[in-house]
Amino acid sequence: MVPHAQIDDADVEIVRLPAPERPSFSTSPPRLLIIGAGNRGNAYANAIQESTNGILVSIVEPIEVKRRLLGRKYIWGKSTPSEGQEFKDWKEFVAWELQRREKEKRGEDVIEGVDGVFVCVQDQMHLEVVLGLAPLGLHIMCEKPLATSLDDCVAIYRSLLSGPDAKQKKIFSIGHVLRYSPHNMLLRKLLLEDKVIGDVMSVNHTEPVGWWHFTHSYVRGNWRKEKTSAPSLLAKSCHDMDILLWLLSSPPPGSSKPAHLPSSISSAGSLQLFHKGRKPTEAGNATNCLSCAYEPSCQFSAKRIYVGPQMGSRQEHFVSIVLPEIEDCIAAGGEKAGEKALLARLAEDYDSSTPAAEVSSRNWFGRCVYEADNDVCDNQTVTLTWDNDPIALEDETPLQALTGRGAKTATLHMVAFSQKICQRFTNIYGINGEIYADSDSITVQDFRTGEKKVHYPSVPKDGGHGDGDHGLSRQFVLAIDWVKNHGEDVSEAQKTYVGCGVDEIIRSHAAVFAAEEARKGKLVVDFQSWWEREVEMRLRA
């Protein structure tokens, strides 16, 4: 449905785009493995099944109920898993695969191996898993962020390049799914290829995390502590930073010019709300919502968020994270049994006798949000600036040399306190016009003609991130297919189908680490000298 409230002119041109087509299958489709059956693993499993020309053949997951749920849904169906279809951990898979290859060399009859892997484990495990998979020489898609420290990012980068020519031997992709949504792909085309508003002067981009999504993931959940996960800017918004650099730094398709790197990065932010100092007096010493007298009045009540009717369509997704076996509970005893099991999980609590290590080692989804051990920012801004950096190719005028490489600024605002949940919106101001882009449409206002045009990218499937999950999966698997079945060179397939090289992956992560250094030190970071000191020196070491 067209959101008429956003269209206030009678002569607005509306443009609708067709949905991307699913690639055709080769005679030997790429065979894929997912490591990690959590939220992201399930998202990619669905995308593989619905939008790619590959087949999911195996799952690695230590928690049996999660492993079996994904396996039944996407791999072995109602039957029992066969050899090679499930593993408890990635090391077990590596050992099995090495044995399978030895048997194959001896001429024994073995099942076909996998071609590519989706790494969907916790952030701090990415380095270990990616390096551990290296001896197998598989194509890899690693969920974002690449790693939780700059050193680990550089170590992964180095592992991808081998030989005296430091050449990339396999396809590598990162879970920067925003690049692959029809919405953002169209936005980039309008800006960099069609140049509908001329050179960009300024960008304001907002990532509204959502007030109750933030409590689930960043107060009670896996990403609540910087030490065990990462700063929220890295864990949540590294692909927002990537989108800004993709739009403002990376050259357009066909250009031979280098990236236009930011000149400075600054940042401000903190943990503003979710700490003990903000706890309502009426809540007393309660550490759990279900034993708290203030719970009926509390906006952040776990009972309200996970059981109440107000949260809408996303509630089922978050409930499945709190209680992965809820489908089995409902199947066995109905909706009431499912709710009872969910409330029992939310009621799990700790007291003064519970060892601190036990309290910090797990997620307590019924926990008081003011008593949690979280320390990541719930509100943060990042400001990037670019200086004029003209580069003239042969026969280019000075103005052409500066096009796309002029001075500009961009701000990223990550905020927890919003009704929208990850429904990003962006204002882009150019010389000749401006763009407002939200999760539904892209509105272009042309200053020169007065015309307004509203673009509606293709209607998304059930995939997340505006179908970016499906788009990334489709392109990664398509790149594998062209290497496996059509003799495409890895570097060409990486460029053509993934559209993002490992240099860009490092660059956007480095910008996040620079922003965090700026925030903590209350600095304005000179990015180019920082890049030389913190990144290039590590790469040369």
Question: What residue ranges do the domains of the chain occupy?
Answer: 31-177, 199-273+375-430+501-540, 276-360
pLDDT tens for the chain, 541 residues long, are: 444 334 455 567 777 777 778 999 999 999 999 999 998 999 999 999 999 999 999 999 999 999 999 999 999 999 999 999 999 999 999 999 999 999 999 999 999 999 999 999 999 999 999 999 999 999 999 999 999 999 999 999 998 886 666 788 999 999 999 999 989 999 999 999 999 999 999 999 999 999 999 999 999 999 999 998 999 999 999 999 999 999 999 998 889 999 999 999 999 999 999 999 999 999 999 999 999 999 999 999 999 999 988 777 778 889 989 998 998 899 999 999 999 999 999 999 999 899 999 999 999 999 999 999 999 999 999 999 999 999 999 889 999 999 999 999 999 999 999 999 999 999 999 999 999 999 889 999 999 999 999 998 876 555 556 688 999 999 999 999 999 999 999 999 999 999 998 999 999 999 999 999 999 999 999 999 999 999 998 887 7
Phi, psi of 117 (to 5 degrees): -130, 135
Note the pLDDT of residue 465: 62
Note the pLDDT of residue 254: 85
Note the pLDDT of residue 530: 97
Note the pLDDT of residue 5: 38
Distance CA 525, CA 516 (A): 10
Question: What is the domain class of 31-177 according to CATH?
Answer: alpha beta
CB 443 within 8 A of CB 452: yes
| Coil, strand or helix at 207 | strand
| Coil, strand or helix at 12 | strand
Distance of CA 273 to the CA centre of its chain: 25
Helix (H) or strand (E) holding 340: helix 326-346
Looking only at the bridges linking them, the beta strands covering 139-142 and 161-162 are unpaired
Strands (E), 121-263: 139-142, 161-162, 167-168, 172-174, 200-208
Distance CA 394, CA 391 (A): 10
Question: What is the domain class of 199-273+375-430+501-540 according to CATH?
Answer: alpha beta
Residue 494 token pair: 């990486």
Distance CA 44, CA 421 (A): 20
Identify whether 145 is preceded by a cis peptide bond (ω within 30 of 0).
yes
Note the pLDDT of residue 309: 82
- Listed residue (122, 125, 218) closest to 414, CA to CA: 218
Give the DSSP per-residue string, 34-58: EE--SHHHHHHHHHHHHH-SSEEEE
